[in-house]
Amino acid sequence: MVLVAVQRGDGPAQAKRLAERLNSYRMFPDGNGRMNLDVNQAKGGILLVPQFTLAADTGKGNRPSLGRAADPETGAALFDRLVEEVRQRCPTVATGRFGADMDVELVNQGPVTFWLEVPPDSEN
């Protein structure tokens, strides 16, 4: 499961690079139990869920500021672009719906969660 937040300044280059990273990131165990396989090698799939609140600034006060999140039109377009990019690389892709009120269940196997980010000014 990938929770996706689109922030101001993100564009198609970030969607493409994040798709590359999601498909090639070695986070699944090999025969020796080491995180050494990517999603395709593990014969897995990717669930992309839009989650704009991950862009919230929680540094001050008792209410999150969502000023870092992209506007809804840009966020929806870049989420759709990310979905297209991921589908080009992974045969099994499911998605949530941008802007929808969704009930999503997750069984997190093990103590592993990663934050993958592709800042607009990065060359990664």
Q: Which residues are catalytic?
A: 51-53
| d(C-alpha 79, C-alpha 87), whole Å | 12
40 Cβ neighbours under 8 A, 6+ residues apart: 23, 89, 90, 91
